[in-house]
Structure 1
Amino acid sequence: MPDRGALHGRVAVVAGATRGAGRGIAAALGEAGATVICTGRSTAAGNSTSDYDRPETIEETAGLVTRLGGTGIAVQTDHLRSDEVRRLAGRVRDDHGHIDVLVNNIWGAEVLKGGPADWNTPIWEHDLDAGLRILQLAVTTHLITSHHLLPLLIDKPGGLLVEVTDGTAAHNAGRYRISVFYDLAKAAVNRLAFSQGHELAPYDATAVAITPGWLRSETMLDNYGVSESNWHDALAGDRDDGRPTAPPGFASSESPRYIGRAVAALAGDPDRRRWNQESVTSAQLAREYGFTDIDGSRPDSWRDSD
């Protein structure tokens, strides 16, 4: 189990905390006692939603953070709108004065990415508007967020910036990933950790790109008609509920809390500067720091897929 007080007194902003990896990261930071500002577009008020038709809200995430021992604060923010992120930065400055951890987890393009039948569509046949929006959601959002919030992280030494992506820089370098747009988006986020790490180093701050493995997000669990408590049932070959059977690789999938514990472990490491500009997996950090997923396992779907 994580050290419940390891991050007490620390302030984190998880940009894109509504669901999936973002919710898992916010939850794990809460487990360690941090104050976590949870941002996203989907709110309980229903006045704004993400590109997904999903029920999760940032208020739910903030509540989870608090139940786990931290302090969760929900702030509705569209990270494509510079004015909204500027207001977020102003509120954080007024209420907390400083950020210890910034997590750029904004994505929102899972639907635009499409399913396997849509993959490998060449750029001249790909829907251009959809492709450009993938890049906006995956890259432009991160740039806007860093621009407005990093000044709150560098005013004291020791800050941590986490860029969440899909695939390490080494893994992606020699592989085509789904489409030109998706491939570029995920390579760019890895590079953002490298370039921002260069700029943060003089301020004794650290930037790291982290990729989860096969993530048991809310969407993924719904796709297979299972929950976190019975996800292994998706691997059964004799399903009679009309849901698809998950491929064997799903056996080494991970809960969103696993990458969350990776971020929490980094945030609690006084020597985290050794990771500056690196691109790593949640499993790699689990081996380094000794944490496990919520079921006590230590999955590594990247290793198992190679």
Structure 2
Amino acid sequence: MTDTAEPGSTTDDRPLHGRVALVAGATRGAGRGIAVELGAAGATVYVTGRTTRERRSEYDRPETIEDTADLVSAAGGHGIAVPTDHLEPAQVRALVERVDAEQGRLDVLVNDIWGGEHLFAWNAPVWEHDLDKGLRLHRLAVETHAITSHFALPLLLRAPGGLVVEMTDGTADYNGAHYRNSFFYDLAKSAVLRMAFALGHELGPRGATAVALTPGWMRSEIMLDAFSVTEETWRDALAAEPHFAISETPRYTGRAVAALAADPDVARFNGTSQSSGGLARTYGFTDLDGSRPDAWRYLVEVQDPGRPADVTGYR
């Protein structure tokens, strides 16, 4: 890998040129949005997941890691797809060894593995929730992050300034005061928040930064399908759910990660919980439509109190 910028580009245009990122869980959703925005900032991005053009995971969805890698390259970076089951330590070890052999460094690690959409039941108490699904959810949402960090962090720590982003749902303040969907879901998302806090203590003294990050109400491929809309027609969903007006694209979260990765003073966020909307206020980026949705402030001030949907002043 060279440090020579593409013709017509500058280091200001591509602040992550020469940097190497690993987005674990980048097949779709936030992971794909993050990978693409890191690529747009000039990074080489390894994207992992279980669904490839040859084989689908139990999600049985069409999005693939190869598609994500192509989008990264089209955005201006270098996308590299590596099929990986992050519950399998040997596969994760091989992945990190490949990054080391090919790049000799790792600057950004994004732990975005989730895989739990079909495993949790809304508002089902633990004694009524399917136990096998609940335990599987925790393996996918928590163990995968720990396994990936175990193998990847020694490479990330080889040079100072590394960044780890733990992707979750909800901020530490919000989740600390609210029940989130079910025992298993609540515990999984809270555990990831705590991971960033713990990693902050372990990485900070060694020159790296760990941050927990949540998107708002994200228009992922699965969410759009749930409302039977597309990214172009997403506002049609407002008839069924008016609060969906606060929603954001996966690229908005991606811009949050790219901004963190390019910030020379990112250590000020070490061990903290952040949101896409909050970081947009800090760094000044917008979503693809030029808006700046702040879903978690909206949730607390409008949706949770039962006020009529109105995003005025929130995007």
1:51·1:111 contact (CA, 8 Å) conserved in 2? no
Counterparts of 1:263-278 in structure 2 under 5 Å?
Answer: 263-278=257-272
Residue 202 of structure 1 deviates from its aligned partner by 1.6
Q: Does 1:257 align with 2:251?
A: yes
The AA in structure 1 aligned to 2:201 is H
String of CA shifts for 1:232-290, please: whole Å, max 9, x gaps. 1221x3xxxxxxx2x11100100000000000000000000000000010000000000
String of CA shifts for 1:47-84, please: whole Å, max 9, x gaps. xx333121000000000000000000000000000000
Q: Give the aligned partner of residue 234 of structure 1.
A: 237
String of CA shifts for 1:64-123, please: whole Å, max 9, x gaps. 00000000000000000000000001101100111000000000111112xxxx412111
Counterparts of 1:1-306 in structure 2 under 5 Å?
Answer: 4-46=13-55, 49-113=56-120, 118-235=121-238, 237=239, 245=240, 247-306=241-300
Q: Report SS of the residue matched to 1:219.
A: helix
Percent identity, aligned pairs only? 64
TM-score, normalised on structure 2? Answer: 0.90
Structure with greater contact order relative to length (CA < 8 Å, sep ≥ 6): 1
1:51·1:108 contact (CA, 8 Å) conserved in 2? no
The AA in structure 1 aligned to 2:271 is Q
The AA in structure 1 aligned to 2:282 is E
For residues 3 and 166 of structure 1, the distance between their equivalents in structure 2, rounded to whole angstroms, comes to 31
The AA in structure 2 aligned to 1:176 is Y
Residue 231 of structure 1 deviates from its aligned partner by 1.1
The AA in structure 1 aligned to 2:264 is P
When the two chains are superposed, the root-mean-square deviation of aligned CA atoms in Å is 1.1
Check 1:83–1:29 CA distance in 2 against 1; reply closer, same or farther (3 A cut): same
For residues 50 and 257 of structure 1, the distance between their equivalents in structure 2, rounded to whole angstroms, comes to 23
For residues 57 and 119 of structure 2, the distance between their equivalents in structure 1, rounded to whole angstroms, comes to 12
String of CA shifts for 1:160-206, please: whole Å, max 9, x gaps. 00000000111101111111111110000000000011100122100
For residues 184 and 129 of structure 2, the distance between their equivalents in structure 1, rounded to whole angstroms, comes to 9
1:36·1:65 contact (CA, 8 Å) conserved in 2? yes
Residue 304 of structure 1 deviates from its aligned partner by 1.2
Q: Report SS of the residue matched to 1:110.
A: coil
Residue 229 of structure 1 deviates from its aligned partner by 1.8
For residues 228 and 134 of structure 2, the distance between their equivalents in structure 1, rounded to whole angstroms, comes to 29
Q: Report SS of the residue matched to 1:112.
A: coil
Listed as ranges, the gaps of 5+ residues in structure 1 are 238-244
Displacement over 4 Å in runs of 4+? none
1:35·1:72 contact (CA, 8 Å) conserved in 2? yes
For residues 131 and 3 of structure 1, the distance between their equivalents in structure 2, rounded to whole angstroms, comes to 46
Q: Give the aligned partner of residue 242 of structure 1.
A: none
For residues 12 and 231 of structure 2, the distance between their equivalents in structure 1, rounded to whole angstroms, comes to 23
Residue 3 of structure 1 deviates from its aligned partner by 5.5
1:63·1:72 contact (CA, 8 Å) conserved in 2? yes
The AA in structure 2 aligned to 1:7 is L
For residues 221 and 228 of structure 1, the distance between their equivalents in structure 2, rounded to whole angstroms, comes to 7
String of CA shifts for 1:110-154, please: whole Å, max 9, x gaps. 1112xxxx4121111111100001100000000000000011100
Q: Give the aligned partner of residue 4 of structure 2.
A: none
For residues 58 and 204 of structure 2, the distance between their equivalents in structure 1, rounded to whole angstroms, comes to 35
1:51·1:109 contact (CA, 8 Å) conserved in 2? no
For residues 59 and 201 of structure 2, the distance between their equivalents in structure 1, rounded to whole angstroms, comes to 34
TM-score, normalised on structure 1? Answer: 0.93
Q: Give the aligned partner of residue 241 of structure 1.
A: none
Listed as ranges, the gaps of 5+ residues in structure 2 are 1-10, 301-315
The AA in structure 2 aligned to 1:82 is P
Residue 4 of structure 1 deviates from its aligned partner by 3.2
